Amino acid sequence: MTLPSIDAHVRLDTHPTHPSAVIATLTGAQAHIPHVGLEAADWHVVAKNTLVLARIDHEEPYWAQDAARELIASGITVEITPRLREAIDEEWTWANYPMHWCTRTEIREVSAEAQKIYDDIRHGHLLIHAHAHDGHTTVAVGTYLPTGKSVYLHGENHLRQVADTFDTPAQALVSFERLHGDTMRPGPAPMTDTECDAAQARASLSTPTAEPEPPSPEPETAPAYAADVGDHDALLDEFLDTHGGWSKWRTWSDETTHAIHESQTLRIERVHEAPASETAWVVAAYETPVSDRMWHLAATGATPAPVLQELLDHLADGDGWDTAVGSAVDEKTINAATKPLVEAGWKHTIDGRWIRWTNPSEDAGIQFDAFAAQQPNNCLPTWTIWAGPSVDQPTWALHASPHTPAALIADLATGLAHGTGTRRPPHPQAPRQPSQRTTTLAAAVSTGPPRPAGRLR
């Protein structure tokens, strides 16, 4: 049976400013026919006879191809640009996808369910009563309108799922408050970066006009603990270039660089692109090349360059890192490690198992955990070197195990108390810095990545 000819032409192309989004341009006397079909498939109108498909799972090329098949089957002429064809044919997968057992089709099904939840919230079909953070990701409770069915949602973006259902909103809220009363907040959670990108793609096809930026402020001198992060990769490269006793290699995924001393008893691991609040450096020492680890120190991605430089300078001294079997941490060790802080007049307090030294402005310090010091096989850090609002909410932190040499802690303490660096003041017209939401989302990364990465070969 021959389909009647429809005077409509649909041109599908990639979005000019949002890589995974797709635009549809409609022409012809009967352009309203594909217009209706695309709108029903959740394409968004951005201009006359122009629609955009922007999703939170970055599967727009796949669904654009699906829409093209339906339009062609209806007798509508469809043109797919070479750029979009390339995106359709590209095979990719999510980096560190938590449900690793899923096939590509099953992953797409999970993402489609998450997309439906997102669309239901966006269109007002699913009313979110409250949200919280469960320590790993965002959770929320809401009710579908007008059915009255309530749901408990777990996850963000392409990993959001319905984890439980309730007959009434009251039941759902009581259960949610029981589980998340401490972190519970009213209404929906702030939009994620991915959701913001999708909203921007639906808003306009034009590239924002770049406004001329005023001159950048000159760098200023700052305490080492408040200096700029700098280029961590450049710090490591310079260290290895100037110290020939080290060799390095980078993992096949290009995510991590490993450096090992010629004695094979000291090793450095540098995680590239680590979020500010997650581990970006690990230094580990061994008694022999084949023995268990004796001590280790980890630094987060936001650690200032002068602090890392102090650490690397210490490691450059062949006598500066002791890999001999150490005894339990005692008062003598603690005094030796923190002597620079005492001499600098930092405040000394004891709070149960924690001994703390804090600078006068209370935005940097060192914490010693007496309990962790006596439990060498657990994962709790004995030493925490930090700066930021508090030791519990640091901007950056170094965590060290029980037998970390006192001389290393003392060198870091000296840099903390007396070291300086440079920082560039905030731009007078720069946008506001991300709120604590950034830290919250960083924790959610462990349950799923923010973007697709790595082509399948």
Concatenated DSSP letters of 150-202 = EEEEE-SGGG-EEEEEESSHHHHHHHHHHHHTTT-EESPPPPPHHHHHHHHHH
Predicted local confidence at residue 250, as pLDDT: 79
Parallel/antiparallel/unpaired status of strands 50-53 and 44-47: antiparallel
Q: What are the residue ranges of helices labelled H in 16-103?
A: 32-40, 60-73, 82-89
Which residue is it, tokens 């200023």? Answer: 220
Which residue is it, tokens 């005492």? Answer: 342
Rounded CA gap, 119 and 55, in Å? 9
DSSP 309-376: HHHHHHHHSTTSS--SPP----HHHHHHHHHHHHHTT-EEEEETTEEEEE-TTSSEEEEEEHHHHT-T
Cα 19 to Cα 22, 84, 87, 159, 450, distances in angstroms:
8, 10, 9, 21, 15
Region for 178 from its dihedrals, namely left if φ exceeds 0, alpha if ψ lies in -120 to 50, beta otherwise: alpha
Under DSSP, is residue 261 helix (H, G, I), strand (E, B) or coil? strand
Predicted local confidence at residue 132, as pLDDT: 95
Q: Rounded to 5, what percent of the chain is helix, strand, coil? A: 30, 30, 40
Q: Which two tokens stand for residue 394?
A: 């640091």
Q: ∠133-138-144 over CA atoms, to 5°?
A: 120
Is there a cis peptide before residue 431, judged by omega within 30 degrees of 0?
Answer: no
Rounded CA gap, 186 and 319, in Å? 56
Predicted local confidence at residue 440, as pLDDT: 30
Q: Which residues pair with 51 in a beta bridge?
A: 24, 45
Q: Which residues contact 270 (CB under 8 A, 6 or more apart)?
A: 232, 233, 236, 256, 257, 258, 259, 280, 281
Rounded CA gap, 316 and 268, in Å? 12
Q: Which residues pair with 293 in a beta bridge?
A: 286
Parallel/antiparallel/unpaired status of strands 150-154 and 138-144: antiparallel
Q: What is the pLDDT along the chain (457 residues), one digit of tens a residue?
A: 455 678 999 999 999 888 889 999 999 999 999 999 999 998 999 989 999 999 998 899 999 999 999 999 999 999 999 999 999 988 777 777 888 888 888 988 999 999 999 999 998 999 999 999 998 999 999 999 988 899 999 999 999 999 999 999 999 999 999 999 989 999 999 999 999 989 988 886 764 455 566 676 788 999 999 999 999 999 999 999 998 889 888 776 678 999 999 988 899 999 998 899 999 999 999 888 888 888 999 999 999 999 999 999 999 876 555 544 445 688 999 999 999 999 999 999 999 999 999 999 999 999 999 998 987 667 789 999 999 999 999 999 999 998 899 999 999 999 999 999 999 887 555 444 433 323 332 333 333 333 344 333 2
Rounded CA gap, 113 and 346, in Å? 54
| Whether the predicted model's global pTM rises above the 0.85 cut | no
Rounded CA gap, 398 and 416, in Å? 12
Q: Give the distance, in angstroms, between the CA of residue 292 and the centroid of all CA atoms in the same chain.
A: 31
Predicted local confidence at residue 431, as pLDDT: 43
Rounded CA gap, 165 and 143, in Å? 9
Under DSSP, is residue 49 helix (H, G, I), strand (E, B) or coil? coil
Q: 412 near 311, Cβ under 8 Å?
A: yes
Predicted local confidence at residue 18, as pLDDT: 86
Predicted local confidence at residue 213, as pLDDT: 63
